[in-house]
Structure formats: structure tokens, C-alpha cells
Chains A and B, each alone.
Chain A
Amino acid sequence: MSLQNTSAFEARWPDAGGHFGAYGGKFVPETLMSPLEELDRAYEEARNDPEFGREMERLSSHYVGRPTPLTLAPRLSERVGARVYLKREDLCHTGAHKINNALGQALLARRMGKSRIIAETGAGQHGVATATVCALMGMECEIYMGTEDMRRQALNVFRMELLGARVTPVDAGSRTLKDAINEAMRDWVTHVENTHYLLGSVLGAHPYPAMVRDFQSVIGREARRQILELEGRLPDLLIACVGGGSNSIGLFYEFLGEPGVRMIGVEAGGRSFRLGDHAARFQGGSKGVLHGTFSYVLQDGNGQVSHTHSVSAGLDYPSVGPEHALLRDSGRVEYTSADDNEALEAFHLLSRLEGIMPALESSHAVAECLRHQGSGELIVINLSGRGDKDVETVRDLLE
């Protein structure tokens, strides 16, 4: 597998300082600069090392289960009046695309001689993926998780513990994902010598947004090859949900240089468009700095970061990856939102039409697809995760 950039667009960003146009960069305390520089150097070395690529490819095939299928969804296609394919990241080991990045960073950490991995998690998917690769590689693993999220996702807490990880509760601020990231960054500052911070999305200071994108871009490379085999042409439209933005950039990246391929990222519209009730950063947010990067942020008039809400914990975050901010400003990718109810309807619809239960995050992408009635387009939806983890949430909402 090659992690090299290909198209002109891709080669341009980020710049050496980690900027995507005006966005991105490194907004961190000085104590984090030297670990970030060390990580940047190690990653550049690794991505140019064929041996690293081969090891990544071997584990992707034989441990994660790649390539994941590109499945035609015949009954959904009929319902929409389009030809709809699903990129089946739900079939990855641990049930979501998160493992692609967790595996890449864990291999990198081992190469750097780090013996301990820390990570943040919201819903628990990234935490489970991280705990999984740490078990595989025999590394110590500590996961930071907000106490509110631990309450909502008790089963995933237990899963991480079963995999040998320590789950550390974070009882500050909103007690959710953003606070877990704050705490993980503090841990990293204190223990940089032996610890790698395995950040789960295309967020944070450089090199994370570019590195996580590269590890996830396997999704788009496979999808391109598969759709050409199946249909003999490129898709008209790609749809993916956008929390931090790793599954969407993973699908989109390979197609950015293809002007005929339209792309839509779907944010969480939550329960209303009042600040605090949603996670649609591009509709309700403004520019700002959170967790080391300059992007769009949901915040109040005093520059204090807002709480967010979404039925899907994986989209429940007040900022968005800086590359998405650039893709939005340039118009290359369109960003819409789907609210909680639309996502739930899409969850039920896909379960019944195709026998595939999507994660509530991915359900937002399915909801967007339903808006393209009668378009006759060739559409690829990134089914970023499976819905097993959400069964309880859905049952509670039905009651």
C-alpha cells in the first residue's frame, strides 16, 4: 500500500506548518511542540518506508479484514431512484473505520519506541479500536472518556476493559469528548517520553489531521477501484457523515482531483438549530481554535466553546477537521446536515430494506441520500460503522 500523495490538490495541503489554506496549524502550548515535531518526523519517515507500508497492508488484510466490500443496495436504490452503493466499513474488525487509523498510529508508535498509548473516546468506538490494537501489539493502553459518555456507553467501557485497557473518567467541563481530548493532551504533555497520543480523527495539531487522513484514505482508494470494476465508471456522488471528519475525508480524498465527482459531507443537525442542540459547525459555527487547530468551532459570543448534541455520539463534537474547513470554503465539498429524527428514520429504513444496520453516525449519510430522489445518479455512501452499538439508544428512543 502506498501512502504517497497523488493529485495536485492533495500534494498542496497541508503546507510544512500543517496548514490547509488558512486552517489547521499548531496551536498548542510550547511543551507540546517538541513531541509534535518528533511525531511529524517519525511519520514522514514511516510513510516513505516501504516496509511500514507492507506491514500496514498485511495487518489491514489479515487482521482488519480489508478490502471491505462495496455493496450494491438494490432496494434502497429502488426507493431513492438512483444506483446506490455502500462502502462497508461496518465490516471492519471492531465494527467501524476507526481501526484503520488506530492500527496505523499504533505501528508508528511501536516504531518510535513508545510503550504506552493514550486516546480519547466519545461513543467508545475509537477507544475500542485503540484498545484492540494495543492488545495486538502488547502495549499499555489508557483511554480518557467523559463521565457523561461513560454513562451513555457503559457497554463500550466494559469492552475496552475486557481488551485490557484502563478507562479513565473525565469529570470536567461538559464531561464528553472534548473534555476527554483536553485530558488526553494533558497526559501527553506529562508523559511524552514513553507515550504516544493516538488521536482518533482528522483533528488536533499538525501532523494529526494529515496523518489520520492518510491512514483513512484506504477507504477511497478501495472504493475507486471497486466502483470501476463494478460499474466501469466513477460515481456521480459520494456521501459521508462528518463528526471530526475522518471517515468522510477517507472516502473523499482519492476523488478530490476528479471534477465529475460531487461530494457531500453530512453534519449532525441534532434536535434544533439552537446553539447547544446540534453539531453542525458549518451552519452554526464560526472560525476559531480548539484542540490545537484552527477551523470552524461552535462557540458563544465570548469565544467559549459550546456544548453540542447529537443522537450519535460520534458526531457530537464542537469543531471539525481543518481540511474540511478548506474544502468547504473552496466549494469542493458541500456540507449539509441531517437531524436526529432523519437519522433515526434512515437507521430503520436501511435495516429493513437491506438487512444492514448502520451506526447512527452513518445513518446521517443515508438520510442525505434519501434527499436525492429520482436523480438516477451513481451514489456511494460511506457506511462508516455498524449499528450494534446503538441498539440500546434506539430502543430507548422508541419507548
Chain B
Amino acid sequence: MSRLSEIFSNNPKCFVPFVTAGHPDLEATERIVLELVEAGSHIVEIGIPFSDPIADGPVIQTSSFRALRHGYGVPDYIELIRRLRNRVDAGLVFMTYMNPVWSYGPGRLAREAAEAGLDGIIISDLTPEEHLRFREQGDPRNCVKGLDIIFLAAPTSSDERLRKVSRASGGFVYLVARTGVTGKKSDVESQVPATIRRLRRYSDLPIAVGFGITSARDVRRVWRYADAAVIGTALVRFVDEHRHDADLPGQVGLFAREHLIPG
């Protein structure tokens, strides 16, 4: 059983924060993740920034551009995973875009990151169809192996697409709560419960709901019908606003405890 599956079987409701790696720098990211796990996070999504993040709203875009100024590369992010894995048992998942993955080599990235202790990867602009096409072409350099690949589902996805997404995903399925980019409004779309019912027809995988969740109240609401709630923008905004503060990681931990994780 993969670590992600194990986490979901031990925890009926999971809290999943997202942080942009390298925002404000990688040292801070490491300490922030440790604080978030300490505060009660089950899985942490670690964003590898990309120059053209079409699925992200302004807050995560800004954090990405700030992080990119450091010039970090994939080996730096893998090293972050290695250091974190020595300290925590929580699930660690990369979230990024296809181009940085392609540039490094999907096969190489998966092998090295899995060896360092990464559990899964979300590639926002990789669909199950394109993923399968790479697999069918059979070139191991282009295949992600050894990691759970988590694909996105949306309320606008047809049944046919939900079936493909469920079959291709490992660890969990990531349902985006509204049609739109990350971080636009805090209400949870009304179609989400219906989409989850449709997803359950095709898969026993746990379902995480993300995009547009900004408070412990939102998290609790999502937990009523999904297995995990993902908090991205609200957290990244907090990090950005406090990026010059002396004890940033401690403050992030406190913020998560007080405002994001249901008591």
C-alpha cells in the first residue's frame, strides 16, 4: 500500500495544505512544512514554481515569481523532500506543471524524488490522455513511475472523463471545486457533492477537494462529503504577507491551527 493510501485509511478526514517551494526561500519552506505537519496536516502539497502558471490565480502566481528569482532547480526541490522525509511521516506531494517536469525528464524526476521520499505528483496541465500516450510510447525517460500520479477532476468533467481520471490516478483524486483558477472566492461550488457522487461510481480512491477553500469552516463543510480539503491560496497569501517577519514558520503554524484546521 502506498503511503498516501495508508494515510487515507488511517484518517477519515485529511487536511492538505499547499505551499510554494522557495517562497520566500527553500529554508523557510522546509520549516513551514514542518510547522504545518506539527499543526496537524496529513499531506502537504509542495508547489514547484513555473514561469507560466495558467491554472493559478494572482496570489500563487506572485509567490511563484518570487520563488523563481532564486533560480532553484528540480534537484533543490528533491533535496527539500529528502530533508523533510527524515523528519516527518506526512504525505509529501509535488504540484507543478508539465514543462519543468519534461525539462528534467519525467522518469528521472520520479525515480529520484521517490527515492528521496516523495509520495505523489500533481501535474496541473497533464491529462490522463497525454499521460497514457507517453506510457504507450514506452520510453522510460518520459514515464512517471514509482510515484502516485494524482489527476484533476472538475465539476464540468463528463462521466467519461471522470472515469479516465479515476482510472489513471493513484493515491487520491483531486477535485477542483469551481470552474476557474485557484483562489477566486471562498464558497464551495454547489455541484461538488454531485460530482463526488459521480466520481464514486468509477473509483474507490479518496477524493480531495481544492480551490477556493479559505477557512476552517470551509474545510469542515468539505469534509462532510470529501476525504480531504486542500488549502492553497489562503495559506500562500499569509506567507506572502508575512514573508519578512522573523518567525515566519511559527506564525504559519499558528495561523493554520487557529484559522484553517477545524478544532
Contact = CB atoms under 8 A, between A and B. Distances in A.
A192 B165 CA distance: 21
Given A182-B53, A302-B72, A288 B102 contact: yes
Contact of B99 (A28, A172, A299): A299
A34 B157 contact: yes
B181 A189 contact: yes
A238 B249 CA distance: 61
A27 B127 contact: yes
B118 interface: no
A304 B100 contact: yes
Contact of B179 (A19, A179, A189, A286): A189
B26 interface: no
A147 to B, nearest CB: 14
Indicate the member of A17, A292, A304 with the most B CB atoms within 10 Å: A304
B176 interface: yes
Contacts of B103: 286, 288, 299, 301-303
A192 B50 CA distance: 24
A304 B98 CA distance: 11
Interface residues of B, number: 44
B127 A33 contact: yes
Contact of A303 (B55, B100, B181): B100
A297 interface: yes
Contacts of A26: 127, 129-130
Interface in A301-337: 301-305
A30 B61 contact: no
Interface residues of A, number: 37
A178 B124 contact: no
B24 to A, nearest CB: 18
A86 interface: no
A185 B161 contact: no
Nearest to B57: A186
Contact of B154 (A19, A30, A37, A190): A30
B181 A290 contact: no
Indicate the member of A35, A173, A189, A302 with the most B CB atoms within 10 Å: A302
B121 to A, nearest CB: 14
SS of B interface (majority): loop
A287 interface: yes
Given A190-B181, A289-B102, A30 B65 contact: no
Contacts of B238: none
Contacts of B194: none
B23 to A, nearest CB: 15
Contact of A302 (B71, B98, B153): B71
B97 interface: yes
Interface in B43-87: 50-55, 57-58, 61, 65, 68, 71-74
B133 A17 contact: yes
Indicate the member of B129, B130, B133, B151 with the most A CB atoms within 10 Å: B130
7 contacts: A25-B129, A27-B127, A29-B124, A34-B154, A186-B54, A190-B180, A302-B72
A305 B52 contact: yes
Contacts of A289: 97-99, 102, 125
Nearest to A29: B55
A31 interface: yes
A291 interface: yes
Contacts of A172: 58, 61, 65
B100 A28 contact: no
B205 interface: no
B7 interface: no
Nearest to A193: B179
B2 interface: no
Contact of B151 (A30, A37, A297): A30
Contacts of A37: 158
B126 interface: yes
B20 to A, nearest CB: 14
Nearest to A305: B51
A288 B151 contact: no
B172 to A, nearest CB: 14
Contact of B52 (A33, A173, A301): A173
B156 interface: yes
Given A30-B161, A303-B99, 14 more contacts: A28-B54, A28-B127, A30-B154, A30-B157, A31-B152, A33-B156, A34-B156, A37-B158, A182-B54, A185-B54, A189-B55, A190-B184, A290-B52, A302-B100
A113 to B, nearest CB: 17
A319 to B, nearest CB: 10
A34 B130 contact: no
